[in-house]
Structure 1
Amino acid sequence: METASLRWKRAALVLACAGALAACGGSGGIVEDVGGGDDHAHIETAGRLVVLEPGSAQVHVVDLDAGSVLQSYAADNAPSAVHASPDKRYALLVQATQGLIQFVDGGIYQEPHGDHMDDRKEPPRLLTTQLAGVRPSHYESHDELAAVFFDGSVDAGTNASFALLSDESIGTPGITLATQRLGSPMHGTAEPRGDWLLTTWKAPEAEGTSPTHVELYERHGDHFHQTKRFEQECPGLHGSYSNADYIAFGCRDGVLVVHQSGDEFTAQKIANPADMGEGVRISTIIGNEHMPSFVGIGSGGNLFEIDPLAGAIKRIDWAEGRVRRAHAIDAEGQNLLLLDDVGTLHILATSDWRKRAALPSVIASMPTAAPWPALAVSADDDKAWLSDPQGKRLHAIDIGGAALAGSVALNFSPGGMTWLGMATHEH
């Protein structure tokens, strides 16, 4: 049987040799459905990328096995962001201004078959079902669940809300597992934790649209009940992330960390370090299930380790004077990838934040304004993909080898993207 390493080398070779890709409107490309009567259907595949075309409603599905655009779709509006569903079968096309989310079925997934799972590889498709709400903003995924936070609108008098999703629910007409309306409009976030969910609350006297506190909700069928508001304040709350045991929220004056032990949730506030810098705060938080700590992202090139066990925030030194343009953490949580403002890709080991490599001029011509290049990481192999808007290319990155592994020419400028496929194979 072909190993993951051999599969990656095969895919990289295909892409390195690929010529210009032509977007197709039909169901072209090589598709495979090995369900049939097989006792245990198995597919070796590098997966697919769903790639946005900035400023356009066009969305492209790139098949990484064939090294070509397999399908292109016209969304209702130009998507502002794209995310993968928890089990990586679907892509969410977020259209924030229009209050709409559409879904692309990537066509690669696993389904139960007796005492095992069978692999499927089918044509991608744009689903007809959609999810509507006022100003969809933050999207967070944990285990097999995801939550979309809708900010609502002060002008329209619409309160914020959130919707709970799974891959199974996205494939049904109803789309959502549960929804909940909140008490006011705000630019918040929601973190699913099984039967529980943490979301934001805004004090009535607080100015602006930023939340000030975190609340705990318990799911009851298709809706939620609020059970607790943590007393610790989190002024200017923005950004959140969940790992195995902790949930972190970015605050103007530090990070609020909630620890889950079974059905018990306790919170602690970690203050900003003295060397945070004038006007710097953590506003984006990323991480991985396999990592005990989080990465906090501030403005410019400011990066910090958030260690919930030590109750400390420490600066990560990665590239003096450089500004971050794209970031990602690999599927195993072992490597942090950072693209800087001159097109160099830095790879840091998350165990000690040591820089493993710096790949210069991966992006030969950096844009002078957003949208910037984007990184997408495979959940099935040791690889990542980097979009090159001005070069009209996708660059393959061998993360373990810390090296470029091919480049694919496109006939459009790629922007944001996400990887879809089977996160794990059942052998």
Structure 2
Amino acid sequence: MIKIELPKRLLLLSFLALNFFLVACGSEKSQDSSPAQSETVNSSQPTEVSHLEQRLLIAFDDSVSLYETDDFIAIDNFSVTAPQLSAGPNERLAFLANREENSVKVLDLGVWYEDHGDHLHFYTQPPELLPYEITGEKPTHIVNHKEQSAIFFDGTGEVQVFSAAALLATELPEAELLIPDSPHHGVALPLSNGGVIRTLANDEEGLPDTLGLFTEDGDKTILTPHLKGIHGEAVGSANGQEVMAFGSEEHVGLFSEEEESFTLLALPDTEARVGRLVGDSNSPYLLSNYSSQETPALSNNVLIINLAEEQLSKVDLGTPYLSGFIHDGSQQGYVLGLDGNIYVIDLVKEVVSQKINVLQPFEAPSGHGGTQPSLGLSNQGLLVTDPQAKSLLLVDLSSEELTTVATFSEEPTHLLVFN
């Protein structure tokens, strides 16, 4: 384990919480769920309600549809070309990015709350696609923290940071922080003190190998001079403090504000890499992929990152799997294997606690393109999109019963659940 101490003057206040399958058996209660598309911006007044229902966003090649997870009936549909869904800086907003069109649109889901200290007030209004778009070359990774969003533009290496309040404007908001760099496939994380942690381009093509801290005044400090192939990030907690993790070749990097340090944890196998991580700011356990070109069998493993103990543990699933695995916010992860099974991972015991067959075996699309199943966790159970059957499945994790809860006229490409 390598630990890099940071100068006292670089202590950053209150760090990082962010935000990132097929033949069904069982019963059916499906319905065609494609409403007429919205053509105008909604200006309705909000309605106060006693509580908020979970909302579900499903993307298609030329639109996105919004649902409530209590009945899975579509609320509205918006015409958007090839949207890649990303959560917004709060549960009210979602980003619809199109990398090829250099565009990021913002969808107001129409649900939010106000905190009055000893109680909350809940509000709804019709959802709307906000009347502006954020532009930049090849927007790819969008990461949230403390009601701020950092959008990374691979084509230029530029980072634009926006607050939740600014994004609710009726015209294009000005970025609260803009940090240029050279083109590369990277990521940035907004900090609560107004700064940003971001990847920096190297001198060669490929993934970055350096992380830098930037203050809101633009001052830069290098965190990691050599962390090869940085890709993937997640936030968790250890001993009451938020910890940020970054994937790379040979290591997982951990930033701790409490200890004012950046720690490198060596992967169990030197030829392995981590490229996607998921977690929750209230959980000490992260889940990540684990892959190797030199030893393909290693790619059947997932990796559990215990932040409190700074330990890494492999769990062999016995099958390749999709990268769209998810974390329940506590101590369980959900992974869809290419064998068609859902693997429920106990992150504390470091074992597969449940295996549920939901699909026929399938092949993953190559590269970043192609349509594949997508996972989401709702109050009723695990949700799985089935592109082949053009449907949405609900998996009851207690009974392991599968139910088709919605059918579509085209293939679903992605889903996101908003609490």
- What TM-score do the two structures reach when normalised by structure 1? 0.79
CA contact (8 A) 2:375 2:415 kept: yes
After superposition, where does 1:181-330 map in structure 2 within 5 Å? 181-195=179-193, 196-203=195-202, 206-219=203-216, 224-244=217-237, 245-261=242-258, 265-274=260-269, 278=271, 280-299=272-291, 300-317=299-316, 319-324=317-322, 326-330=324-328
* Map of 1:62 onto structure 2: 67
1:396 maps to 394
Provide Cα deviations, 1:72-119, integer angstroms capped at 9, x if missing partner.
1111x312x201113211221110111110111111211356974321
Residue 168 (structure 2) pairs with residue 171 (structure 1): yes
Q: Which residue in the other structure is 1:82 paired with? A: 85
Indicate conservation of the 8 Å contact 1:357/1:402, yes or no.
no
Letter of the 1:288 partner, please give it: D
Equivalent residue letter for 1:181: I
> Does the 8 Å CA contact 2:47/2:125 hold for their aligned counterparts?
no
Cα pair distance change 1:327/1:372, threshold 3 Å: same
48, 56, 67: which one aligns with 1:49? 56
Q: CA deviation at 1:344?
A: 1.0
Relative contact order (alpha carbons < 8 A, sep ≥ 6): 1 or 2 greater? 2
> What residue is the counterpart of 2:3 in the other structure?
none
The answer to whether structure 1 residue 118 and structure 2 residue 130 are counterparts is: no
**Structure 2 counterpart of 1:377:** 377
Map of 1:20 onto structure 2 = 32
**Aligned pairs, number:** 371
Q: Which runs of 5+ in 1 are unaligned?
A: 1-14, 153-158
Residue 367 of structure 1 deviates from its aligned partner by: 5.8
Percentage of pairs with the same residue: 21
1:245-274: CA deviation from partner (whole Å, max 9, x where unpaired): 21112222212211112xx74112222223
**What is the deviation of 1:416?**
0.6
What letter corresponds to residue 412 of structure 2 in structure 1?
P
What residue number does 1:130 align with? 133
Looking at structure 1, the residues matched to 246 and 46 of structure 2 have their Cα atoms a distance apart, in angstroms, of 44
For residues 322 and 151 of structure 1, do their structure 2 counterparts lie closer, same or farther at Cα, with a shift above 3 Å needed?
closer
Residue of structure 1 equivalent to 2:178 = 180
Taking the aligned partners of 2:174 and 2:380, their CA distance within structure 1 comes to 32
Alignment partners' CA distance in 2, 1:345 and 1:354 = 14
CA distance in 1, matches of 2:162, 2:182: 22
SS in 1 for 2:150: strand
Structure 1 residues 398 and 217: CA distance shift in structure 2, 3 A: farther
Q: How does 1:407-426 map to 2 (within 5 A)?
A: 407-411=404-408, 412-420=410-418, 423=419
Alpha-carbon distance in 1 for matches of 2:36, 2:186: 38
Greater Cα shift, 281-290 or 296-305: 296-305
- Taking structure 2 as the reference length, the TM-score comes to 0.80
Partner of 1:5: none
334-343 vs 228-237, which moves further: 228-237
Residue 62 of structure 1: how far off its partner (Å): 2.1
What residue in structure 1 maps to residue 359 of structure 2? 363
State the one-letter code of the partner of 1:167. Answer: A
Structure 2: gaps of 5 or more residues: 1-26, 292-298
Decide which moves more: 105-114 or 161-170. Answer: 105-114
For residues 212 and 68 of structure 1, do their structure 2 counterparts lie closer, same or farther at Cα, with a shift above 3 Å needed? same
Cα offset, 1:388, TM superposition = 0.8
Cα pair 1:200 1:214 within 8 Å, conserved: yes
Aligned-pair RMSD on alpha carbons? 2.7
Distance in 2, Cα, partners of 1:340 & 1:187: 26
User: What is the distance in 2 between the residues matched to 1:83 and 1:228?
Assistant: 29
Instruction: Give the aligned residue type for 2:50.
Output: H
Q: Map Cα deviations across residues 291-348 of structure 1 (whole Å, 9 max, x no partner).
A: 213222133433112334444432122x213433531111x32210011112211111
The 1-side partners of 2:180 and 2:46 are apart by 45
Separation in structure 1 between the aligned mates of residue 337 and residue 361 of structure 2, nearest angstrom: 12
User: Is the contact between residue 85 and residue 166 of structure 1 (CA under 8 Å) also seen in structure 2?
Assistant: no
Amino acid at match of 2:57: V
Change (3 A) 1:22 1:183: closer
Aligned counterpart for 1:71 among listed residues 76, 85, 93 = 76
Give the direction of change, closer, same or farther, for the CA distance of 1:95–1:351 in structure 2 (3 Å limit): same
